[in-house]
Amino acid sequence: MSEDLAELARLSEEAGALGEQLHLARGELDRANGERVRLERAAGVAAGRSALADGTARRDQSIVDHLATMRYRGGDTGATRAAVLAESPRDLVDRLDTLRRLSGATTSALDASRAASRDAVQLREEAARSAAEARDAARVAQERTDALARRTEEMRVRMDEVRRRVDALSDAQRDLWIGGPVVPEGYVAPPVDDVNSAALRVALSRLGAPYSWGATGPSEFDCSGLMVWSYAQEGKALPRASQAQAVAGAPVAMNDIRPGDLVIYFPGATHVGMYAGDGLVLHAPTYGVPVRLEQVDAMPIHGIRRY
């Protein structure tokens, strides 16, 4: 490969890696926004509970104040006063009974008021914490949104440069860029015996489809988008980014690899393909190169995952 094509391959690999990082960043942004919404709702609930507790505390305090006023207006200063004012034994019994009831009611109301006040303070603090957490979550979400916008623009610039260079290739250079036939001679697809091999059959139906950054089918794909689309046709959801695909599923050793397993490439897990049997991997390589089959070890393998 000429120096120009080698440089183009490097730029293309960097652009593809940045694209996969953006898929991952979008997932993180979605989670951050989900956490922000959850915390904002929790803050609203906490504020409502705090307001209710404040109302309860004010109500209970008003009861205490009312009972105290009743005792004052009734001239009630204790059992001795009741005995002095009683006009008969029966009147004394009634006065003492009233005194006991007012004392008990005042004590109960006072206890309730104190408890309600404590609850109100605790719930106000809880509401304040929830509101602060919601503000922090909103700040994190905004920071990630801003970072994503910057990285998206960076990716656009790099991808435009790759497109410009690929589109300017001569016919001979383009043949070298594509790197051979889409399907090696003699390849036979393995039989379908599980969801993974069924997903491979789906992916094989897209051999020759053009590469497009950020595309998830059905007519154009990037590397991880092809994996997502193929498995989705069999009812199985995969993470969007190759880095996320590299940690989900179950790890598989090379000597146990089966058709349909995902093969993750490069140290940063920035590219992915699907094992197609016969030592071949099916993948969407880069701009200007269609979905194709090539040797599974054509790129540095980061890991293998089974879904």
CATH of the domain at 156: 1.10.287
State the Cα–Cα distance between residues 274 and 258, nearest whole angstrom: 10
pTM of the shown model:
0.66
> Do 213 and 104 fall within a single domain?
no
* Domain end among 167, 199, 229: 167
End-to-end C-alpha distance for the chain, whole angstroms: 36
> Do 88 and 188 fall within a single domain?
no
The per-residue pLDDT for 9 is 84
Q: Which two tokens stand for residue 186?
A: 């003699």
What's the alpha-carbon Rg for the chain, to the nearest Å? 36
Which residue among the candidates 23, 66, 223, 302 is catalytic per the annotation? 223
> Do 184 and 155 fall within a single domain?
no
Query: Residue 4's CB: how many other CB atoms inside 10 A?
Result: 12
> Do 18 and 138 fall within a single domain?
yes
Query: Residue 110's CB: how many other CB atoms inside 10 A?
Result: 16
Q: Which domain holds residue 66?
A: 3-167
Strand order from edge to edge, sheet including 292-295: 250-251, 301-306, 262-265, 271-277, 280-283, 292-295
Number of domains comprising the chain: 2
The per-residue pLDDT for 238 is 98
* Residue type for position 61: Q
- Known catalytic residue at 302: no
Which residue among the candidates 23, 66, 283, 302 is catalytic per the annotation? 283
* Domain end among 114, 147, 167: 167
* Domain end among 146, 167, 188: 167
Residue 247's nearest CA partner among 223, 231, 230, 264 is 264
- Known catalytic residue at 283: yes
> Do 148 and 295 fall within a single domain?
no
- Known catalytic residue at 23: no
Q: Give pLDDT tens digits along the chain (307 positions).
A: 577 788 888 888 888 888 888 888 888 888 888 888 888 888 788 778 777 777 766 665 655 565 566 555 554 445 555 565 567 777 667 656 665 655 565 566 556 666 766 777 787 787 788 778 878 887 887 888 788 788 888 878 888 888 899 999 999 999 999 988 999 999 999 999 999 999 999 999 999 999 998 999 999 999 999 999 999 999 999 999 999 999 999 999 999 999 999 999 999 999 999 999 999 999 999 999 999 999 999 999 999 999 9
User: Which ranges in 168-193 belong to alpha helices (H)?
Assistant: 171-178
Distances (CA, A) of 299 to 5, 12, 21, 233, 295: 17, 14, 19, 27, 9
Conformation bin of residue 188: beta by default, left when phi > 0, alpha when psi is -120 to 50: beta
> Do 136 and 207 fall within a single domain?
no
As beta bridge partners, residue 301 has 265
> Do 132 and 207 fall within a single domain?
no
User: Strand, helix or coil at 88?
Assistant: coil
The per-residue pLDDT for 60 is 56
CB 271 within 8 A of CB 16: yes
Q: Is residue 172 part of a domain?
A: no
> Do 219 and 264 fall within a single domain?
yes
Which H/E stretch holds residue 276?
A: strand 271-277
Q: Is residue 128 part of a domain?
A: yes
The per-residue pLDDT for 46 is 76
State the Cα–Cα distance between residues 81 and 73, nearest whole angstrom: 14
The per-residue pLDDT for 299 is 96
Query: Residue 121's CB: how many other CB atoms inside 10 A?
Result: 14
Burial class (CB in 10 A: 0-12, 13-18, 19+), 301: middle
Q: Which two tokens stand for residue 111?
A: 């206890």
The per-residue pLDDT for 39 is 80
The per-residue pLDDT for 66 is 52
DSSP state of 216: B
CATH at 215: 3.90.1720.10
> Do 160 and 234 fall within a single domain?
no
Q: Is residue 24 part of a domain?
A: yes
